[in-house]
Amino acid sequence: MDRLQLEHSEVDQVNRLLDRHADELWPLDTEEALHRAAVLAHQLPERTQDRVAAFRLEQTSGVLCISGYKVDQDRLGPTPSHWRDRPDRSPAHREELALVMLGSLLGHPFAWATQQDGRLIHDVVPIKGHEHEQLGSSSEALLTWHTEDAFHPLRGDYLTFACLRNPYAAATTVGYADHLDLPDGAREVLMQERFGIRPDESHLAKNNSEPGMDAFDDINEMQRNPDLVAVLFGDPAQPYIRADPYFMIVPDGDQEAQWALDALVKAMDNAMFDMVLDGGDFCFIDNYRVVHGRKPFTPRHDGTDRWLKRINLTLDLRKSRSARPVAAVRAIH
């Protein structure tokens, strides 16, 4: 993992940029605001721009954490008890804007019509009743490692988090896909289209407010009948990954594929390490080179819980153009 510790003068520069433009850039999830944020991102500290560019060019590890920014905890108020409870303008608008600007140095923010009601900026908070789910909103169960939105061919190139608070130091887990210790022959099998990845539960109608939406028909179809895809791809010596074992299946009788997948799970389980995000940390995860998950924690449900903002980024909006109703809509349907 790579860390960039912002110096005082750099934090001041970021804060001045946010002071100048926070009101102008609300609402933030419009095409105009995203465009403007991408232009303003060039006023972020040069060292930050440089490190993010190195990360994008794969000159660094697949995880970058930018620290040093201070979150005004009083301004935030209580952690919401559900992602749905977001007011029009989030009390964390400043941090959302910072995340969008930093993300714009890397790619283009996009959303899923089938996740968190199509919102561009997600809230990751523990939700009462979800404790043992395989959802970002769970808490007491281990969130098993995964590529974000692994089931979908249009999944993001990067996953980004702004940590607003994490009082009990719940750990995000991370694992690199390159240099995994796999048994002979497993890598070759994992590079073949022999694996089905079903949508994770955050994309199911029951976890959204408009269950009747057409987009859920496609999710249901992918659920019933996932395409067979490769788990490793790119350079065999340093492969990219696409996996979410908890939601994966192997066709009946393909024992070799099952063996290779089991071997991958074992190797990755051994390679995972903890990354504790703290308030003010901005974290960038390369969704091709790295998988992530989260260790169990005990939620409080009293307004003081852990709170992350999350945005998916793509390097190429054109790939999803036919899945978005108009060019200016960032949600994939």
Ligand X SMILES: O=C(O)CCC(=O)C(=O)O
Ligand Y SMILES: NC(=[NH2+])NCCC[C@H](N)C(=O)O
Mark the binding-site residues for 2-oxoglutarate, compressed into ranges: 172, 306, 310
Sequence-separated contacts (24+) of 205-209 with Cβ below 8 Å: 205/114, 207/135, 208/114, 208/115, 208/116, 208/117, 209/84, 209/117
Site track 47-66 with ligand Y (rule: CB under 6 A), x = hit: --------------------
Residue with tokens 């022999």: 194
Residues 249-268 that bind ligand X (CB under 6 A): none
| 84 Ramachandran zone, left/alpha/beta (phi>0; psi -120 to 50) | alpha
Question: Among residues 250, 242, 246, which one has the least CA distance to residue 290?
Answer: 242
Task: For Fe ion, give the closer residue by CB, 45 or 62.
Answer: 62
Annotated binding site: 146, 148, 172, 292, 306, 310
* Among residues 144, 192, 223, 304, the one that binds ligand Y under rule CB under 6 A: 144
Return the closest-CA partner of residue 78 out of 132, 22, 123. 123
Place of tokens 């992530």: 292
Q: Which of residues 10 and 148 has its CB atom nearest to Fe ion in the complex? A: 148
- Binding to ligand X (CB under 6 A) within 108-127 occurs at 124
Segments of the chain assigned E as strands: 2-5, 63-67, 108-112, 122-124, 143-146, 158-165, 171-176, 195-197, 228-229, 232-233, 240-241, 248-249, 273-276, 282-286, 290-294, 307-314, 331-332
Beta-carbon contacts of residue 45 (< 8 Å; ≥ 6 apart): 6, 10, 13, 14
User: In the complex, what is the shortest distance from the CB of residue 43 to ligand Y, in angstroms, rounded to a whole number?
Assistant: 31
Nearer to ligand X, 124 or 182 (CB): 124
Looking at beta carbons only, is 114 or 202 nearer to ligand Y? 202
Contact 199, 207 (CB under 8 A): no
Find the binder of ligand X among 51, 187, 292, 330 (CB under 6 A).
Answer: 292
Binding footprint of Fe ion, residue count (CB under 5 A): 1
Tell me the one-letter amino acid at 314: T
In the complex, least distance from residue 305 CB atom to ligand Y, rounded to whole angstroms: 16
Q: Which residue has the tokens 């609402």?
A: 27
Rounded to an integer, what is the distance from CA 278 to the centroid of its chain? Answer: 17
Output 25 or 311, the one with its CB closest to ligand X.
311
Nearer to ligand Y, 38 or 272 (CB): 272
Q: Would you give the binding string for ligand Y spanning residues 225-244, x where CB under 6 A is met?
A: -------------------x
Q: Strand pairing of 2-5 and 63-67?
A: parallel
* Closer to ligand X by Cβ: residue 36 or 309: 309
User: What residues between 300 and 329 interact with ligand X by CB under 6 A?
Assistant: 308, 310
Binding-site entries for Fe cation: 146, 148, 292
Among 172, 208, 287, 312, binds ligand X (CB under 6 A): 172
With a CB cutoff of 8 Å and minimum separation 6, the contacts of 231 are 190, 191, 195, 241, 242, 243, 260, 261, 264
Q: Pick one of 10, 96, 117, 148: the residue that binds Fe ion (CB under 5 A).
A: 148
Tokens 């908890």 belong to: 246
If binding is defined by CB under 6 A, does position 114 make contact with ligand Y? Answer: no
Q: How far is the CB of 257 from ligand X (least distance, A)?
A: 25
Least distance in angstroms from the C-beta of 307 to Fe ion: 16
Question: Would you tell me which residues interact with ligand Y (CB under 6 A)?
Answer: 134-136, 143-144, 146, 148, 200, 202, 244, 246
Contacts to Fe ion by CB under 5 A: 148
